[in-house]
Amino acid sequence: MSGFSVSWLDLREPADHAARDPALAASLVSYLQADTAISPIIVDLGSGTGSTLRALTRKGAQRCVWRLVDHDPALLNEALRRHGQTEIIEDYQADLREVAALPLGGLTLLSASALFDLVSDELVDALLARVSQQSAAFYAALNYDGRTQWTPAHPLDEAVLAAFNHDQRRDKGLGPALGPDSAPYLKAALEKLDFTVHTADSAWQLGPAQEALQADLITGIRLAVADAPDLTEAALDDWQAFRMAHAGSGQCVVGHIDVLAFPAGA
């Protein structure tokens, strides 16, 4: 998988944090803090620089042991630099595909953000099998759901979105990606394992204040659909120029779904 830079993760984080469903996050924090005698162990997969740690500690998660798992040592080092003095962090450089080797022992919660749309159904099943053996909770925020709606509209928006969503299912290093199906797949798989599952909308609401993120998104979509058979280069140039011209004044909604699940009896 191509790398995720600190600067790209920083660019998207304010939109991510504004989008996370507050009720699901509050319910999770209450669950984690219910027993003041224990330190919840949270394993955050594909942690990047610690976005989930920041989101949940701001909502009141305390006394947690944060096991941050990522294959990119630069991102883990940045997480340690930002939070190593104030939080208990155990950093693990590991490949998520090696499920049996992931440090899931004794965990209270398996979390992730902006990850599961990149992951295959097979990998989800293997991860959930390990989580369910331990009666741990599960929280996956910000799973892309296939919606990208622009204002003002351009005649090619629909065709570009169809090509983009097709590309979202490409194997990006974690198996054939679930893409927009990730949240419904997670929900069904968790329910099969007797979890109580809650889902909520966590769409990005991007306006002129998020011009840089809109511009980055437009460039990323253009790259992703460059080889789509029914879109000519000239048509895509026109679409990209129109979208860029409106990035500082228009709106964009990018659909995501948060998934929170508690084990049976919790």
Ligand X SMILES: C[S@@+](CC[C@H](N)C(=O)[O-])C[C@H]1O[C@@H](n2cnc3c(N)ncnc32)[C@H](O)[C@@H]1O
**Residues that bind ligand X in the complex, under the rule CB under 6 A:** 1, 4, 9, 16, 46-48, 51, 70-72, 75, 95-97, 113-115, 173-174
Cβ distance to ligand X smaller for residue 21 or 72: 72
- Quote the least distance from Cβ 9 to ligand X, whole Å: 4
Distance of closest approach, residue 45 Cβ to ligand X, in angstroms: 7
Q: Dihedral sign, CA of 52, 54, 59, 61? A: positive
* C-beta closer to ligand X: residue 12 or 246: 12
Which residue in this structure is represented by tokens 């995501």? 256
The pairs formed by 183-191 with CB atoms below 8 angstroms and a separation of 24 or more are 183/116, 183/140, 183/143, 183/145, 183/257, 183/259, 185/121, 185/124, 186/116, 186/124, 186/138, 186/140, 186/143, 186/259, 186/261, 187/259, 189/121, 189/124, 189/125, 189/128, 190/128, 190/138, 190/259, 190/261
| Token couple for 112 | 């992730």
Give yes or no for a cis peptide into 152 (omega within 30° of 0).
Answer: yes
Tell me how far, at minimum, the Cβ of 36 lies from ligand X, in Å. Answer: 28
Least distance (Å) between residue 49 CB and ligand X? 7
Q: Do the Cβ atoms of 71 and 97 come closer than 8 Å?
A: no
Minimum distance from CB of 70 to ligand X (Å)? 5
Distance in Å, CB of 231 to ligand X, minimum: 25
Which residue, 79 or 252, has its beta carbon nearer to ligand X? 79
Chain-centre distance for alpha carbon 67: 17
- Pick the closer one to ligand X by CB: 16 or 145: 16
Minimum separation from the CB atom of position 97 to ligand X (A): 5
Instruction: Tell me whether residue 75 or residue 213 sits nearer to ligand X (CB atom).
Output: 75
Residues linked to residue 139 through DSSP beta bridges, in sequence order: 111, 260
The token pair at 195 is 């979890």
The two structure tokens encoding residue 108? 């209270």
Q: Which residue, 78 or 157, has its beta carbon nearer to ligand X? A: 78
Cβ contacts of 154-157, under 8 Å, gap ≥ 24: 154/239, 154/242, 154/243, 156/231, 156/235, 156/236, 156/238, 156/239, 157/239
Residue with Cβ nearer ligand X (179 or 250): 179
